[in-house]
Structure 1
Amino acid sequence: MRILLLEDDKQLGPWIAGGLREEGHVIDHFENGKDALMAAMGQDFDLLILDRMVPGLDGLAVLKSLRASRDTTPALFLTALGEVDARVEGFEAGGDDYLTKPFAFAELSARVSALGRRRDGPQAEPEQTTLRYSDLTLDLLSRHCERQSQAIELKAKEFKLLEYFMRRPGRLVTRTMLLEQVWDMSFDPTTSVVETHISRLRSKIDKPFEEQLLRTRRGEGYVFGS
């Protein structure tokens, strides 16, 4: 999706923009409401992420102006204002969702995906209970994994890690994404939990077989499949 981000915090803004770009989104990042409003009026976006407390023209004023011009782009407010009255004010201005600071990137990502699905309309696809890639199969109900008809015993975190990769074949998965969405942890440069579990997972799903499915991109992250 193409996303407009209005966030003036010098650390938080680039962190949000970088994380969303890692997930494949195109981000136009603005630190003031005037520039964000001009961009939104002149270009098509799939989602607006607006900080409520930007000096001058804030996210609330930006969205009110857009809604007055009949712009229906989904909007997610980010703010430290968590009171009920503040949230109600955001929804009455035309907001679709509201996330208070501080927040985990995994939750922001989930809300972005939900708003994207809402914009695209209801999906009729049934829930997937078995994941397959090449000769590797992962049954989410029975918690059974096998490759080339050989059963592979996975511990709970290894199973969750493999499920995360198999749902994103061919996509770059960063260490930060794994820490937040598999371990529910914030970024920690000192921990080696990701590298340790990746090594254990490789020894089970790749080492005994000719085709290697899980690859490392040095300095970037990991890619499962081609």
Structure 2
Amino acid sequence: MPADPHATREPTAPADDPGSSWMLAYKHGDERAFDRLVEHYSPQVFALVTRFWGTERGREDLVQEVFLRLVRTRARYEPTARFSTFLYRIVFNLCANQRERERLRPALSIDAPWGGGPDGDAREPAELDAPGPSDRIERDDVVGAVRAAIASLPATQRMALILAKYEELPYAEIAAILNSSEKAIKSMVHRARENLRERLAPFLAEESA
């Protein structure tokens, strides 16, 4: 029997996007595919949550909630974008909503490679090189100033900067994650950097004096 040209075709995932393939398999009942998603993406999700939200308690609960959202949305999932775009949009929405409720202040460095380890953990710069007491005090001062500057950024600006700097995503994908335009994201990242420079200027001037 010839195929019905009007029949709806099941969407397929791009060959270079295993996350979409696993999510589609999970949608159709393959529970092992969900295990693959958790194993592959949980370090990235944990690092992204930490960079946005900080090192306060509750990160693990938020990461768990991200994957619970995948469970709840699997019946409706369609691979209309890369899986990382779909996943990071969930992360951003949860982080922004949670921070608005609890007004948590993030603890991250602008330049340190937070979350870069294989376990996705994010440590402060002062923890990385085990410096002496005086060096540690100076580094703590820097980290404290950066914390305050990062905490002052609007949620969307902060996430745009994180995705551009740490995840090294193209502006087009960041725009898809944040439901914006590529031009707006470029402007947003630029404003975020300028805001950080402005807020850190007094501290940097004091350090160089």
Which one has more relative contact order, counting CA pairs under 8 Å at least 6 apart?
Answer: 2
Give the structure with the larger helix fraction. Answer: 2
User: Normalization by structure 2: what TM-score?
Assistant: 0.33
Give the structure with the larger strand fraction. Answer: 1
